[in-house]
Structure 1
Amino acid sequence: MSVSHAVVPGIESPALEGGTEHGRGADTGPAQGLLAMLAQVSDPRDPRGVRHSLTAVLAVAVITTLSGAKNHREMGDHADDLPQDLLWLAGARFCPSHGRYRAPSGSTLYRVLTSLDAAELDLRVGTWLREFAAGSPAEWVVALDGKVLRGAWDENGMLTLFSAMLHTHGTMLGQVAVPAGTNEITQVEPLLAPMDLRGALITADAAHTQDDTARHIVEDKQADYLLTIKGNRPNLLKAAIAARTALITSGPAHHVTQQHARGRINTWSTWTCGATAVDGLDLPHAAQLGVIRRDVTEATGQPLRKEFAIVVTSRAADRLDAAGIDRHTRGHWGVENLEHRCRDTVWDEDDRQAYLGSGPQVLATLRNLALSLLRRSGVTEITRTVQKIGRNPMRALHLIAT
């Protein structure tokens, strides 16, 4: 039985790399792009009795995740329906007796994915995605944010993953698991360690408004920070509130923008001042304080509520004005929608119960990779696109052939 293949520019048939049509080369996968990165992941299995290469298993896992698979069983179900062209591209095993490429089963996917070194997979994926991220690090705005996987837990509690991602498109730059008995604050240095962030602006919530974190970002990573001030730093907050009152009463906001949505008007007003003008703003390398006020009104003008956010940044006003402080502060808030909420909406991540080995973190990494591949290609309707790929997996071809 003959098997036809799609012609993918720049990618050779994995079967031809070994020098035979259906020989050992069929198990190696194309030696470039996404599959080359997956081929670098360490295989924890005893090579005796291995039927599916790790590259093929991971490639099928990525394709089925793009197709909407939420767990190993659904991955196996989707894999059973993958076209021969995609299995060939993934480097799947060729079965001479059936004259077809064979996908790994759901049980194989389960055994392999739960035995992987999740930290290594995160490192490989993050490094590869950073290479393809738009612009240079000096142009990046990077959000640090944690996510608790509510369905993944063991005797130490629920698994928390701490990630760095670009504000633009939510491209994942790296992810680490937060060890039991610690918190996200302790993982800033391990998360950022493999990244070249020189010149980048790093945003984080109030938990990370710490002296050591500020020093690490500026002195070690040669980047800048934009951090929120809240009650976990009472002296900073006291100084910031005093400055907020003085700024708001001193004159008009330095930047104002409006959004109209669902019959309401959101008005964002931003004031800024130099850090030296704020008594008690004792955070290393602080250069500016920003105050953002959100006024929510009915379309008729009836006020509904008023909210404030106070931020501090190491970036000087000539490089980050009031409009930039407003944009990047609210951009950080949007990261949850870009990444975490999307993983819950598309793949029901918080509802997926997984307790064994590295499986939960590995699945989260595959979802991060899938989202980054989709957004990198310009997709904005993630749920709809995943559903379309589920109906026709060949739509994933241009995403994985990179």
Structure 2
Amino acid sequence: MSARKEGHRVSSCQPDPAMSTAPFGAECYDITSLLDTLGEIPDPRDQWEKIYSLSFLLAVILVATPTGAKCPREFHRRAADLPQSLLAVLGAPRDFLVGGYREPSEKTIRLLLKKIDVDALDTAFGSWLCAQAAPGQVAFAIDVKVLRGAWSGKDAQVRLLSAMLHGKGAVRVRVRIPDDTNEITHIQELVTKLPKNARPTSHDARRHTHPARHRETPRENRMDYILTVKGNQPTLERQTFERILPLLQETPHHEVEERAHGRIKNWQTWTRTAEIIDFPHVETACVIRRDEFDLTGVRISREHALILSSTPSERATAAYLHNRTRRHWGIENEIHYTRDTAWREDANPTYTGNTNHALASFRNLAIGVIRLSGARKIKETIKHVAANRYRALQLIATVCNGAGL
């Protein structure tokens, strides 16, 4: 018996009872800008492998990712569930023998992810996301993510250095760190790929405070840095502490208090110039004190963060550095933690070719699309989309047409 009837394909998977079977005008949703972007990525396949266009295969993976799909097998199963009208919008070839549109096999998806140019993939995804999110001057948080389920060798895990747009949860640029080196030697490569309107950048506390890393890069690229100093640079930490210690006796230059989740959190910030601190291009020193109280006012914890910035003190106000630093801390919650919890990235071992890097790229793009569409709860949104595949198209079209954030 034919698997297709009157242009409608019977799913190879158990149908989801929540999935809508009502007619849907998929052609009404314009995702042309994203499909054009996907079409510009170099095609790594041999000529005889090109049954499907590259943009269609990438679009299928993208639509499947917000449903929670984590590997080529699940991408294929999601593609087998896609309605004919949605396959047509994504650019599927028509099979005239059976009178319907074809979906890619698991093998086709697996081979593509293994060979895809991940640098071109990251560049295309990042450029498209930021074009939708940030038309003006922007700031980025830079941090490294270890893919704990992906091993490139016996004793080496895949590490990706990323730059995330502050406040948007969208990754703009990313580079893979080779196994025989560390992120310090690749920060300049990452920074040179950032757009010209990028200013400033903020950096991870423990990894990126090495002086050699900032010796030339920020000024050459007309960007300022904001970084947190910790014990990996004891001399720098001591100099910074000595410079800002007298400030703690003064009234805070900036103060914010928030109440949430049964706690009261208070941030106090002080700034001053950084004359005695020996670090490339440093202009401003800052300390942020974070106190956490229960609802009765009893202090639970107190932390101090030492901040250095190349931004001149007349612009690097206490409010400015407080906001930028807190936005930097968001890269862990908005990107790294989300990929681990929504797609179980660290528990999903992948070893072949560029697959692990490519999957992380699609997850970043899916997170960016969800956030730019206005949704903030990623896991809930994934469950919502999984119940009806058209919702992934709706999310993407919302961002493409500028109707999101």
Q: Same fold (TM over 0.5)?
A: yes
Q: Note if contact 1:5-1:88 (Cα within 8 Å) is conserved in structure 2.
A: no
- Secondary structure of the residue that 1:290 maps to in structure 2? strand
Q: CA deviation at 1:49?
A: 4.5
Aligned residue number for residue 176 of structure 2: 177
**Partners in 2 of 1:154 and 1:320 — Cα distance?**
41
Contact 1:146 1:184 survives alignment (8 Å): yes
Q: How does 1:74-93 map to 2 (within 5 A)?
A: 74-93=74-93
1:348 aligned residue (327, 344, 349) = 344
Question: Counterpart of 1:123 in structure 2: which amino acid?
Answer: T
Alignment of 1:36-75 (within 5 A): 36-75=36-75
1:274 maps to which residue?
Answer: 273
Q: Given the two structures, how large is their TM-score scaled by the length of structure 1? A: 0.89
* Aligned counterparts of 2:147 and 2:7: Cα–Cα separation in 1: 45
Native 8 Å contact 1:288 1:317 kept in 2: yes
Give the Cα separation in 1 of the matches to 2:291 and 2:345: 34
TM-score by length of 2: 0.88
Q: Is the 8 A contact 1:263 1:298 kept in 2?
A: yes
**Alpha-carbon distance in structure 2 between the residues aligned to 1:94 and 1:267:** 60
Gaps of 5+ in 1: 12-29
User: Map of 1:236-385 to 2, 5 A cutoff?
Assistant: 236-249=236-249, 251-276=250-275, 279=276, 281-385=277-381
Judge conservation of contact 2:148–2:347 (CA < 8 Å) in 1.
Answer: yes
Query: Residues of 1 paired with 2:221 and 2:29: CA distance?
Result: 36
Residue from 380, 384, 390 that aligns with 2:386: 390
Cα contact 2:243–2:274 (8 A) shared by 1: no
Amino acid aligned to 2:296: T
How many percent of aligned residue pairs carry the same amino acid? 38
CA deviation map 1:158-177 (0-9, x unaligned) = 10111001111211101111
Q: CA RMSD in A?
A: 2.0
Q: What is the alpha-carbon distance in structure 2 between the residues aligned to residue 198 and residue 54 of structure 1?
A: 31
SS at match of 1:76: helix
C-alpha distance in structure 1 between counterparts of 2:396 and 2:324, whole Å: 31
Whether the 8 Å contact between 2:149 and 2:345 is mirrored in structure 1 is yes
For residues 256 and 149 of structure 1, what CA distance do their matches in structure 2 show?
37
2:126 and 2:171 in contact (8 A); partners too: yes
CA contact (8 A) 1:198 1:221 kept: no
Q: What residue number does 1:6 align with? A: 25
Q: SS state of the match for residue 240, structure 1?
A: helix
Does structure 2 retain, via aligned residues, the 8 Å contact 1:217–1:224?
A: no
What's 2:112 paired with? 112
> CA–CA distance in 1 between the matches of 2:74 and 2:7?
29
**Aligned partners of 1:198 and 1:283: how far apart in 2?**
25
Cα distance change on mapping 1:199 and 1:126 into 2, 3 Å: closer
Q: How does 1:121-200 map to 2 (within 5 A)?
A: 121-136=121-136, 138=137, 140-155=138-153, 157-198=156-197, 200=199
Contact 2:140 2:164 in 1 (8 A): yes
Change (3 A) 1:96 1:318: same
Could you tell me whether the CA contact under 8 Å between 1:65 and 1:366 is conserved in 2?
yes
Give the letter for the 2:71 counterpart.
N
Letter aligned with residue 287 of structure 1: E
Deviations 1:144-199 (A, max 9, x none): 01100000003251101110011112111011111111111111111122222446
- Distance, in Å, in 2 between the alignment partners of 1:371 and 1:399 is 11
Name the residue aligned to 2:203: 204
Give, as a single letter, the amino acid of the residue that structure 2 aligns with 1:243. Answer: R
